[in-house]
Amino acid sequence: MLTKRTVIGISIGALAIALGSFFLIESIISNVNLVNDTVDIGKSDVFQFDAQRHFHEILNVTGTSFHVILKTPSNGLQVDNDFQNRTSFDWVSLVDGKHFINITNTGSSVLHVTGTLEAVPNPLIFASHIIVISPGILIIGISAAFSVRKPRGF
């Protein structure tokens, strides 16, 4: 029969394992980041991420006027221009590497930035999910020890 402490410990450990596993699988499967930002007047929005070859990136910017700096690795897309009203960027990464996007609002209205950016997951995020799962296993193991009864003679 399980004691109260055992049931509580197993429940907490199972919750930690379930949440850690769910977010670990989600971070492995999904590498698409949906962008839906607003940029106030005179402010900037910066995106910096690693992307692998053949990742598809889309970015739309809408506002009165704005300056965009977009740098992709190697001989990919390189933009450093002023724009008005609306612009769209749609590109495919030619090589693995870091992408840099800086959007500065130079107009008299709020900018709206939307799009999808595919990025390589950060290895630290993977490690953080493992760090959540490991104590869950430890908690279950320790909790199970509360219900173990010593055999006669011990």
Do 74 and 25 belong to one domain?
no
In a domain, 105, yes or no: yes
> Please, what's the b/e burial string for 18-53 (b: 16 or more CB within 10 A of its CB; e: otherwise)?
eebeeebeeeeeeeeeebeeebeeeeebebebebee
pLDDT band at 29 (very low <50, low <70, confident <90, very high): confident
With DSSP H G I counted as helix, E B as strand and the rest as coil, what are the percentages for the chain, rounded to 5?
35, 40, 25
Give, in degrees to the nearest 5, the angle at Cα 49 between 133 and 70. 165
- How high is the pLDDT of residue 21? 93
**Domains of the chain: total:** 2
More confident residue, 152 or 53: 53
Q: What angle do CA 41, 46, 50 make, to 5 degrees?
A: 165
44 and 109 together in one domain: yes
Two tokens, residue 115: 């799009």
pLDDT band of 154, cuts 50, 70, 90: very low
Res 150 pLDDT > 60: no
Q: What is the pLDDT of residue 100?
A: 92
Sign of CA dihedral 86, 92, 95, 99: positive
Average pLDDT estimate for 47-52: 87
Q: Are residues 1 and 76 in the same domain?
A: no
Pick from 51, 108, 107: nearest CA to 74: 51
Query: What are 64-119's pLDDT values in tens digits?
Result: 999 999 999 888 888 999 999 999 999 888 888 899 999 999 988 899 999 988 88
SS3 129: helix
Query: In this structure, are 47 and 87 located in the same domain?
Result: yes
**DSSP assigned state of 108:** S
> Half-sphere exposure of 31 toward its Cβ, with a 13 Å CA cutoff?
16
User: For residues 123 and 82, is the Cβ–Cβ distance under 8 A?
Assistant: no
Domain enclosing residue 96, as ranges: 32-120
Q: What is the pLDDT of residue 152?
A: 60
Note whether 111 and 130 are same-domain residues.
no
Does residue 154 lie in a domain region? no
Average pLDDT estimate for 11-26: 92
Tally of residues, the chain = 154
Per residue in 135-146, pLDDT (tens digit) is: 999 998 888 877
Residue 94: the pLDDT is 86
